[in-house]
Amino acid sequence: RDLSMITTPPRNRLPIITEIIPASDGRRPHWQVVREAILKELHRDGQAYFVHDRVQNIGAIADQLKSHCPEARVHIAHGQMHGSQLEQTMLNFLEKKYDVLVCTKIIESGLDIPNVNTIIINRADQFGLAELYQLRGRVGRANLQAFAYLLVPPVNALPKQTLRRLQAIEEFTELGSGFNLAMRDLEIRGAGNIFGAEQSGFIIEMGFETYERIVREAVEELYREEFKDIAFEQRSLRIQRSAMSLNVEPRTMVEYDITALIPDLYIEADNERLDIYRRLYRINSTEDLQTLREELRDRFGEYPEEVENLFQLIDLRNIASSIDFPKISLKGGKLIVTLPDQTNEAFYNSENNSQALFQKIMRKISEDRHHNVQVKQSGKELRLEYSCHNEKSIKDYLMEARKKLEEIRLCCELSTE
């Protein structure tokens, strides 16, 4: 979705200095930090918030604050107070009759008092990231330097996600960084799921088509690994129906250890990069691949080596898909081709056994001794392992792999004829 962000702060506004104060910090215990922060604010004729989000013992916290900082005039405000009493308390605070307001997160939104430029949040680990961001935004409303202190238990006692939230609020202090903080919050909490109650996530950016493909491939992997007893014909029929309903073809899985991607520096916009990736997935012919190559050159200039590697891998995938190979791998200077499942009658058997695709491929391999290929079995999988020279460049490596796959495809086409 298109998004507009206002990242330019008002003139003379300063970022809020945010500091996490763990209880294990022996050099500066909590109450010493609180006293120093409040006295510093009083010396410049300012006021402060002390946020404690528990009404049951907020009075005891206020008494502790008075004992540690007797110089400050302290008052309490929370949502269970009578409306008129709460209103009068806030008016008195606005008129500077109190120096410190001990309150719950009732001040979270809609409060703008320029003279308050220090906020102390007790047990900040119990607040969400959005709450901390809103509470911190209650200070720094003028052109004075504002401070936010987050009081937390010992760091080693905090859950990992809580620590990441606190680190995020401490990191993103620049004015206008709310969007970046929201993205970090999404990253911490998780992107959600298309099924069930968690209906949030990156599906809008990814696209339903790509998400559905990932789910379908995961289901197929479960069929192969966890539900081997299911009849192949039934599984094949489900795949065919799924492909027909979605107008897509089953694709060969490609694994590789080379750098093949569209760099951010080449195409900066995320939505354009994702669109190119989606188009690459749908391409199933060399002509369409060449058309996309020319389009990228025309729109974005000459592309780097990583993009060319990606095009080459897509070409290899299309060749392998045309032979119905479920997976190919280019790792460690080798091309590893996984042959179809042994229950595939069309591939391994025919009315005349010598015309079966498997027999033709094996005969071709045995006739050409320079292929440097081995036939291996891993579990129920049959694989062809072609050795390539490691000293070759990645371009030569991919071209040699393409040549070997083309020879196999030609062999299969001849046997069909």
Cβ atoms 119, 51 nearer than 8 A: yes
Low-confidence ranges of the chain (pLDDT < 70): 1-2, 24-29, 190-210, 224-225, 227-250, 350-355, 368-371, 389-392, 413-417
Scan for tokens 């900040």, then name that residue: 124
- Distant-in-sequence, close-in-space partners of 34: CB < 8 Å, separation ≥ 6: 50, 65, 68, 69, 120, 149, 151
User: What's residue 248's pLDDT?
Assistant: 45
pLDDT tens column, 278-303: 888 888 888 999 999 999 999 999 99
Distance CA 246, CA 385 (A): 33
Distance CA 163, CA 160 (A): 5
User: What's residue 37's pLDDT?
Assistant: 95
User: What's residue 110's pLDDT?
Assistant: 75
Cβ atoms 256, 329 nearer than 8 A: yes
DSSP class of residue 238 equals H
Residue 338 β-bridge partners: 327, 383
Cβ atoms 330, 256 nearer than 8 A: yes
- Distant-in-sequence, close-in-space partners of 239: CB < 8 Å, separation ≥ 6: 220, 250
Joined together, the tokens standing for residue 233 give 């014909």
Distance CA 398, CA 316 (A): 8
Global confidence as pTM: 0.49
User: What's residue 243's pLDDT?
Assistant: 44
170 φ/ψ sector (left φ>0, alpha ψ -120 to 50, else beta)? alpha
Scan for tokens 């007797």, then name that residue: 70
Distance CA 190, CA 206 (A): 15
User: What's residue 229's pLDDT?
Assistant: 60
Cβ atoms 132, 167 nearer than 8 A: no
Residue 162 β-bridge partners: none
Scan for tokens 């129906």, then name that residue: 241
Relative orientation angle of helices 394-416 and 357-367, to the nearest 10 degrees: 130
Residue 387 β-bridge partners: 334
Scan for tokens 């507009």, then name that residue: 4
User: What's residue 278's pLDDT?
Assistant: 84
Scan for tokens 């919050």, then name that residue: 185
SS3 119: strand
User: What's residue 350's pLDDT?
Assistant: 60
Residue 50 β-bridge partners: 102, 120
Phi, psi (deg, nearest 5) at residue 256: -155, 160
| Residue of 173, 165, 117 whose CA lies nearest to 140 | 117
User: What's residue 295's pLDDT?
Assistant: 93
| Residue of 285, 357, 289 whose CA lies nearest to 323 | 357
